[in-house]
Every structure is written in C-alpha cells, then in structure tokens.
Structure 1
Amino acid sequence: MVIQEQVKEIVQRVKDLYSSLEIEKKQLEISNEEEKTTSSYFWNDPIHAKQVMKNIQSNKKLVKKYLKAKCAAEELQVLYDFFKEGEANVKEIEKQVEKTEKILSYIEYKHILSEEEDLLSAVLQISSGAGGTESCDWSNMLMRMYLMWGQKNNYKITKIHHVPGDIVGIKSVTLEFEGEYAFGYLKGENGVHRLVRISPFDSNAKRHTSFASVYVYPLISDSIEIEVKSSDIVWETFRSSGTGGQNVNKVETGVRLRYQGLIIENTESRSQQRNKEKALQLLKSRLFEIEMQKRLYKREAIETKKKKIKWGSQIRNYIMHPYKLVKDLRTGYETSDVDSVMNGELNDLLKKSYMVKSAIQTS
C-alpha cells in the first residue's frame, strides 16, 4: 500500500537524521557552551565569545528543526493508525505527509551543506564574456537574477564593485551576500552561464548566444585567521565611476589591491580607508578559498568520481528561443519556466545540484 510505504519511509528518515545529525551530541554541546557563557571571563576574548554564541544558535536551530520533524512524523504515525481504523481519510494523510516531507527536505538539504565554509557569507563576481553589448546585457540579467534570489532569501546584499558596459549592461560586478549559508547555496554557481535568445539589439531579429562567467567564494569571518604578507601588497587608487555622490567622481576613493597575482578592486564606500579595509577582507577570503580548493583536490578518491568545477567550464544553458528552457548541464535538471528562474527562483536548481553532488561523494 502506497500510504503505508510513505509513512514507513518518513519515520525511517527521521531516525536516520537523529543519528547523522548527532542530535544527542549537539544537545550536550549546547548545554556545555551555554554554561561557559555564564563565566565572568567569557567576554574577555570577544571574537571567541561571538563564535561560541554563533555555534550555540546554529545548533539550537538545527535541534529545533529536527524536533519539529520528529513531532510531525509522530503526528503522521498517529493519523495513519486512525486511518487504518477508518477514522481518518486519505486527504488528511496526504496533507500530513506533505507537511512532514517539507520539514525533512529542509533539514536534509542543510545537512548536505556541512563544510566549515558553507555557513559563511559569499562574494559573487559576474564577468561578461566575448560579445560586447550582448554579453554585457546578459551579465546584467544574471546580476538581477542573483539580486532577486538574495532578496527572496533574506540576504543583505552589497554591491562592492561595478564596471558598466560601454552601451548597456555591465562588464563586471562584485556582490556580497551577507547571511548564513550564502556560500553554501551559491558555491555551485561557479562557471560559465550561456544564454540563447533573439537579440533586442539586432535589427534583423537574429538569434544570438552570449556567455558570462560567475565566480563565488566565501567571505571569511574574524574567527578565521589568514596570513597576509604586507610586503607583497601593492595599493593603487582611482576615481570611482557611476553614481554615488559628488565625492565619488572627484576623489580617488576606489582602491585596487595587488597581491601575488591576485587583484581585488573595491568602490563600495566613499571612504578610501574603508575600501582598503574591505579589500583586505576580500583578499583574505580569496586566499581562504584557494586553500580550500587545495584541500579539495587532495581528496583523490572523490576527485576521480566528480566533475571538476572550474572557471571556464559551462554549467548551465538559458534558452529563450526557439523554445524556453533552463538546463543545468551537471545534473540534467531542467525547467521550462525561464521567467521564474530569471526572477530569482533558483532554489530548485541549487538544491538539485547539491543533492547530486552529495550522492556522488558518498557513493
């Protein structure tokens, strides 16, 4: 019986989560760390104290979600018992299954994002490819897509650096998404995004193909120490372009940091000093990401099984003519609802990517 199998599967998934999430261990950690916060010396080291508080809140959220899933599964089991006695109908069972499934899927998804860096905020860079106006317009469309995704998922978004196109759109843009799991969600967006459409800039209404590159790296927190050799840093300043007040275009507030082949640009603030401080944070984040990739490549067993995600590899097609289709080339996931995707409805695409990646790594 289908309903019986659904109930059985959900109950088993809840049991599996209790073990894989180490709920008992996390409850003990919460108790021990909360006891530490009562010490009069706790705030003597503010950075460590903030990290402890963050861990407590993160563990509490996870345990609370698990208990909610457990409660929903128990309610489903009781409802199923009533159903067998003829005191509940199929619709009631299906409604409870859907409710429990939604909670479980959320927890399982978050469990996949279990790497240290997944919890961090993210920096996302978009760069237009060859094609001039077409690619600049496509980069602008991608920027709008990610901005709408960030807004819908309650992230604080800051535009760190922006280079406009010569006619329309953007040549490049750097965005910061501040909030938990921003990097975990967005890290799979690394690569080349391809657009196929009838160009609004072509008087002959011909079909054009445009490319833009997306690069995502985690924004490190104060709790992560990254060594930077001051002697290797070269600073340059320049006048910012675009809007931002009278001071922006008259004073060299924009900064460019060069470090061992890396280049970081920042025009976020009207203050050159604040832009320098932010550029240093971005540099440390890039260095952290490079080290993170080195660790990843050392996992030879996994590396032989999975497809490498690297700058220059095409990951997704967005087709708007002759038919509508968004297809992820890594997972095979596709949808004809292109408008929703371009309006920031990316969670299904992101989730499928990590579900497939997790299955590969554990196989």
Structure 2
Amino acid sequence: MLEKLNIVKQRFDEVSDLIIQPDIISDQKRYIALNKEYKDLRALMDEREKYLKHNQRIEEADEIIKDGGDDEMVEMARMQLEEAKGEIPKLEEKIRMMLVPKDPEDSKNAVMEIRAGTGGDEASIFAGDIYRMYMKYCESKGWKTSTIDYSEGTSGGFKEIQVEITGEEVYGTLKFEAGVHRVQRVPQTETQGRVHTSAATVMVFPEAEEFDVEIDPKDVRIDYFCSSGPGGQSVNTTYSAVRLTHTPTGLVAQCQDQKSQHKNKEKAFKVLRSRLYDMELAKRQEEESAKRGSMVTSGDRSAKIRTYNYPQGRVTDHRINLTLYDLSNIIDGDVQRIIDELQLVSNTEKLKETGETF
C-alpha cells in the first residue's frame, strides 16, 4: 500500500509543479484537467498522511512494549497499538476505493431530464414527485439547479422537465439514477382504490464544455417561438423561446425558461452539446458494461432500475437487489444511501477489473 501511495505522491508533486506553469495556465482544457487531478490527489495525500501516522504509532508502541519498563507506559502503548491497528484496515479500504480510476466525466455538471412514461396522468404526477425528490437532494448537497424547459401534466406534475445542475461531482453522483423508475400506488384519479403501476424515465447527461464537442453552425437549424406556461407578460408575446435541431443526428434541444432570447439560445446549445456528448458516452458505457458484466453502469437507458411501492412503503433498486422500507424519506430527497450503495458496487467492480493488490 505504501509503495503505491509513494508513486501517487510522485505524481502529486509533478501536478503541483505543472499547474503553476504559464503555458499550462494558458491552455484552458489542460489546466482544468490538471486542477481536477490535483484536487483528487490532494485528498489521497491527506489519507496517506493519516496512514503514515498510524504506522508510526504502531512502531513507537512496539518499541515501548519491547523495552518494558514502566507498567503504565506499556499499558498505554498497548492501547495505542490496538487503536492504530484497528484503524489501518479501514484506512486501507478507503484508500483502495480512492485509487479506483475515476471516469473523467464524473466531475462535470449535469443536465437531468425527467419524462412521464406509461400511466397517463398518474405518470406525469409521478414525474413531478421524482423531480421534487431530486431537487431536494440537490439542495442538501449545496448544488444549484436551473430549469431549462418543461411541459406540465394535465393533472399536475410534468410530461417532461429538464434541469441544469451545477456543483461538485454532480454527474459522478447522479449518473446511477438514469433509467426507468416505477411507482406502484393508488392514483389520485382512481375511484376504486386499485393499485396501479406507472413509470417515469430519468436521463442524466454530463454537461459538455465547448471544447468537449464542436458543433458546426451549418448543422444546426434554429427556430424561435413564443414561450408557454407561467412567466409573466413576456409569455406568448415575444419570440424568446429557442429550439435547436441538429440535422446530422436529428437531436433537438430547446429552452424557454429565460425571458432573454440570447440566454435561452445559450442554454439550448449547452443541452445540445451535452446530448451529443452523451450519445458517444452511452456507446462507450455499453461496450464497457458488456465487457465487465457491470450491474450498475449499463448503456441501456430503457432498463427498469427502481420501484417505489407506496402500499408497502418500500423502495427497491433492482440492479443491486437493495430494498429499503423508508419510502417517505427517500421520496423527500433522502436518496444518498442508495447512491452510496451503487457507487460501492461500481467501485468494487472496477477494483476487481484492475486486479490491483496492495
């Protein structure tokens, strides 16, 4: 383990030197990548320090016990030895997980899209519930959210809604939430009290920077139209809403949330870039998950990943067979426990794949 950490320290020292070089600072793409690497390596260096301290404490305690002498000192040394030896395995496990190669996309911001699936009005209501669940989760993480576009359901909720989410490690945290979410409950519209199954699809795209995806302006058709829905006097009176169509792929991105046409256009281009980037990413993930037999990072966006069962107060994640009887808190934004389990499984798979031993 120490040998591995010393190799990491060499890289940390190298990156620390690189990020202050003028030619690196002037190269935005490389500077951002190196800054991200520096932050990750800094966290590992902090754990390395703890690891070295615990090993030092073990050596000191061993010496005191070996020398004998004062009974009280020997007893304190034994306690110190026991405590340090108890901490080492936990630290080693944490460091192992931190050494797992990270996806470069993980640190990116994200665009989340929630669409009502099968189930009519109830599916739209459920899409609204899922939207609120994630917004509360984002709030708890200190992330910022900004609506890009939405279409309301006839009985509440949303037929679809797109949100830009900015913060630390947003895509790396939320990428496991992509897929079909099912709900089993008695709909508000049901008069017989029967339980129905409805669905909503969640998609999460890493937000692409301009240097990640180059879009030829000739390949994009731009349409301007009047905004619809709540929004004050500008609604239906000015052509502020923007729809972009990428001719080679047929992908469409639109934004009508801002009153400014320019801001809507900027946001729509951001979504289009992210969709194009995600298309390539999905292909890569599908190839990787086929090779790895991964349970949690499949490129299949139509897979049913989770069921929210209201009569039983149960939430089940089908990928890792995790069931929690805490539906009210989870739907209120407490999804961290599920995300932690999914990340653990994903990291364990990667660890097995690399075959690293320490």
Q: Structures share a fold, TM > 0.5?
A: yes
Corresponding residue for residue 247 of structure 1: 234
Query: How far apart in 1 are the matches of 2:125 and 2:135?
Result: 15
Query: Aligned runs of 1:172-191 on 2, under 5 Å?
Result: 172-191=160-179
| The one of 336, 339, 348 aligned to 1:350 | 339
Tell me the residue number matched to 2:138. 150
The TM-score normalised by the length of structure 1 is 0.80
> Could you give the per-residue CA deviations for residues 38-96 of structure 1, whole angstroms, max 9, x where no partner exists?
x4x66545555455444434433443355356657877998999999655999xx8999
Q: Contact (CA 8 Å) 1:266, 1:275: kept in 2 or not? A: yes
Q: 2:149 aligns with which of 161, 165, 170?
A: 161
Q: What is the identity percentage for the equivalent residue pairs of Structure 1 and Structure 2?
A: 25
Matched residue SS, 1:137 = helix
Residue equivalent to 1:10: none
Shift of 1:281: 1.9
Post-superposition shift, 1:265? 1.6
Identify the match of residue 199 of structure 1 among 181, 187, 193.
Answer: 187
Give the letter for the 1:56 counterpart: Y
- What is residue 9 of structure 1 aligned with on the other side? none
1:286: which partner in 2?
275
**Structure 1: how far apart are the matches of 2:101 and 2:221?**
36
Does 1:238 pair with 2:225? yes
Q: Matched residues in 2 for 1:26 and 1:216: separation?
A: 32
Q: SS state of the match for residue 191, structure 2?
A: coil
- Report the TM-score when normalising by structure 2: 0.81
How far apart are residue 208 of structure 1 and its match? 1.7
For 2:38, give the aligned amino acid. I
Matched residue, 2:216 = 229
CA–CA distance in structure 1, aligned partners of residues 317 and 170 of structure 2: 20
For residues 267 and 312 of structure 1, the distance between their equivalents in structure 2, rounded to whole angstroms, comes to 27
Contact 2:315 2:323 in 1 (8 A): yes
Matches within 5 A, 1:1-363: 15=1, 19=4, 22-36=7-21, 39=22, 43-45=25-27, 48-68=30-50, 71=53, 87=76, 101=90, 111-112=99-100, 114-222=102-210, 224-259=211-246, 260-299=249-288, 302-304=291-293, 306=295, 308-321=298-311, 323-361=312-350, 362-363=352-353
Amino acid at match of 1:29: E
Q: Which amino acid is 2:154 matched to?
A: D
- Judged with a 3 Å threshold, the aligned counterparts in structure 2 of structure 1 residues 109 and 316 are, in CA distance, closer, same or farther, namely farther
Equivalenced residue count is 341
2:137 is matched by which residue type in structure 1? W
The farther-off stretch of 268-277 and 44-53 is 44-53
**What do the CA deviations read for 1:178-223 (whole angstroms, capped 9, x no partner)?**
122111111111111011112233233221211000111100234x
CA distance in 2, matches of 1:112, 1:349: 20
Flag the structure with larger Rg.
Answer: 2
Find the aligned partners of 1:166 and 1:117 in 2 and give their Cα distance: 36
The 3 A distance-change label for structure 1 pair 141 and 99 is farther
